């Protein structure tokens, strides 16, 4: 360390030099010596910090909605909680009492006089020190508490706030240290006692903490911000879907055209593309009915808890299946027993698929089986037929016409019994919608349309079976 001011002191300076602080000629009015030793003061300070951090840890855990924070995130949140306490309580005490701190014999007054052994500017109302601590108390104190809360709830503004506070702490600490080093090097005025415990323990080490940790946190927030922008730029270079009517939210701007030429037509005709037919398609034996849908299965616990207990804040997962389903007709051989006089006495033994020993025995599937009217003269009809063991039934699954979840479709002018029962059955199976979904606005919001016990609302036994 540089030398100290050794010029002769006046009688007034000599009167006020009866203190242990440097420089020896510093005027510290109404100084009252501490009644507590350095170890006792450090124990008191550590106890106060622990008394604040314990409830802070509990509050942060509660704020995280019971999900818990990763250890490194919890440590960062606790760091900002500690900063908030020190900036508001400890440094705030100095801001409001700096003029009378030398005579203060309270606990916080003695703590500040203990630290002032490494920097006497805290007892002389130094202009820079008072202004710097005021900014720290007013800005970084409340914002540190807010940053701890933002980390706990995973708020999107967490990293901007963390970067702001960390940069402010680093900037203030650098100014604080550099002004002391400048006065020591160029004005031969040192504010710390020469003992290593005060200079290196208090002044250097304690202030280095607010350089290293904020520096790491500033780097973390910088990397998080860079990764966020890199992620955005990786998505086609800010190129968006050039969607037009009838999608109201479509982006019509040609400045950001979609590089893959995807338009709203892709979304409008996805059902037709999957099914292969539309309501306007001509009748064709090759036009098999195909139902395309997303099916949601029974929810399962994802946190290891009991699968039939819906605990508050518990984590669940629901499988989603993308299905394209067709219906196949086959001919089966049925064997049964009959012993009695009513249908209750009829017992079906087995229904295996029919066996065809020769290709010529295969059934001939066609659009019309037999003549529509026996009185009409025979004529050659241009009808597609196929000889095969089974046939994928033709048709189109019209989502808007038939009423799902009804055993018999309500359809005007439909006079052919069972003509579209298979389409109705297929639609019923594919309208088991997502949890909480309904088919009409007037229906109760019970989930899965009430068609299957996927939700456990009526039967836990069935729900457990689906799981």
Whether the per-residue pLDDT at 436 is higher than 70: the answer is: no
Check residue 406 and give its pLDDT.
44
- Average the pLDDT over 278-296 and give the result: 75
The mean pLDDT value of the chain amounts to: 78
- Which distant-in-sequence residues (6+ apart) come within 8 Å of 269 by Cβ? none
Dist. CA 296–CA 429, nearest whole Å: 11
In this prediction, residue 2 has a pLDDT band, given cuts at 50, 70 and 90, of very low
180, pLDDT greater than 50: yes
For residue range 269-282, what is the model confidence (pLDDT) as tens digits?
676 777 777 767 76
pLDDT beyond 50 at 136? yes
pLDDT, position 100: 93
Q: What average pLDDT score do residues 120-130 get?
A: 94
pTM for this structure?
Answer: 0.53
pLDDT at residue 255 is higher than 70: no
Residue 165's pLDDT band (cuts 50, 70, 90): very high
What's the pLDDT score for residue 14?
43
Predicted pLDDT at 8? 44
**pLDDT value for 402:** 44
Q: Report angle CA 171, 177, 182 to the nearest 5 degrees.
A: 120
Maximum average pLDDT range among 145-159, 252-266, 426-440, 447-461: 145-159
Residue 247 has a pLDDT of 43
The mean pLDDT of 359-368, rounded to a whole number, is: 76
In tens, the pLDDT along 188-213 reads: 999 999 999 999 999 999 999 999 99
- Judged against a pLDDT cut of 90, whether residue 120 lies above it is answered with yes
Overall size of the chain counted in residues: 467
Region 136-152 average pLDDT: 95
The predicted model gives 366-377 an average pLDDT of: 52
Lowest-confidence pick of 66-75, 162-171, 251-260? 251-260
The yes-or-no verdict on residue 159 having pLDDT over 90 is yes
Q: How far is CA 330 from the centre of its chain?
A: 50
């Amino acid at each position: 360390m540089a030398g100290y001011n050794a010029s002769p002191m006046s009688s007034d300076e000599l009167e006020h030099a009866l203190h242990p602080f440097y420089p020896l000629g510093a005027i510290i009015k109404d100084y009252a010596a501490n009644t507590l030793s350095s170890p006792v003061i450090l124990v008191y300070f550590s106890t106060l910090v622990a008394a604040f951090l314990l409830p802070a840890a509990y509050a942060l855990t509660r704020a995280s909605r019971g999900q818990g924070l990763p250890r490194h995130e919890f440590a960062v949140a606790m760091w900002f909680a500690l900063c908030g306490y020190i900036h508001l309580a400890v440094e705030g005490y100095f801001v409001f009492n700096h003029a009378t701190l030398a005579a203060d014999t309270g606990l916080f007054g003695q703590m500040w006089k203990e630290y002032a052994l490494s920097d006497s500017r805290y007892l002389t109302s130094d202009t820079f020190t008072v202004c710097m601590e005021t900014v720290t108390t007013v800005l970084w104190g409340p914002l540190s508490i807010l940053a701890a809360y933002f980390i706990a709830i995973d708020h999107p503004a967490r990293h901007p706030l963390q970067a702001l506070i960390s940069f402010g702490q680093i900037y203030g600490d650098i100014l604080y240290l550099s002004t002391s080093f400048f006065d020591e090097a160029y004005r031969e005025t040192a504010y710390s006692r020469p003992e290593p415990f005060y200079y290196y323990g208090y002044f250097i080490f304690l202030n280095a903490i607010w350089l290293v940790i904020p520096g790491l946190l500033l780097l973390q927030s910088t990397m998080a911000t860079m990764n966020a922008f890199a992620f955005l730029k990786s998505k086609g270079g800010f190129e968006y879907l050039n969607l037009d009517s009838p999608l109201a939210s479509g982006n019509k701007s040609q400045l950001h055209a979609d590089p893959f030429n995807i338009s709203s037509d892709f979304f409008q005709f996805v059902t037709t593309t999957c099914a292969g037919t539309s309501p306007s398609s001509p009748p064709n034996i090759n036009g098999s009915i195909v139902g395309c849908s997303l099916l949601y299965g029974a929810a399962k616990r994802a946190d290891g808890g009991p699968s039939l207990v819906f605990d508050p804040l518990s984590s669940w997962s629901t499988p989603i299946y993308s299905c394209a389903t067709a219906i196949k007709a086959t001919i089966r051989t049925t064997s049964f027993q009959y012993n009695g006089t009513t249908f209750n006495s009829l017992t079906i033994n087995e229904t295996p698929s029919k066996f065809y020993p020769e290709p010529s025995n295969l059934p001939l599937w066609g659009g019309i089986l037999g003549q529509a009217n026996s009185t009409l003269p025979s004529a050659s009809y241009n009808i597609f037929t196929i000889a095969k063991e089974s046939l994928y039934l033709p048709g189109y699954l019209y989502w808007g016409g038939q009423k799902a979840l009804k055993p018999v479709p309500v359809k005007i002018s439909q006079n052919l019994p069972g003509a579209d029962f298979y389409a109705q059955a297929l639609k019923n199976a594919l309208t088991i919608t997502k949890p909480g979904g309904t088919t009409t606005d007037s229906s109760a919001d019970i989930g899965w349309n009430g068609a299957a016990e996927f939700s456990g609302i009526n039967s836990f036994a069935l729900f457990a079976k689906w799981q």
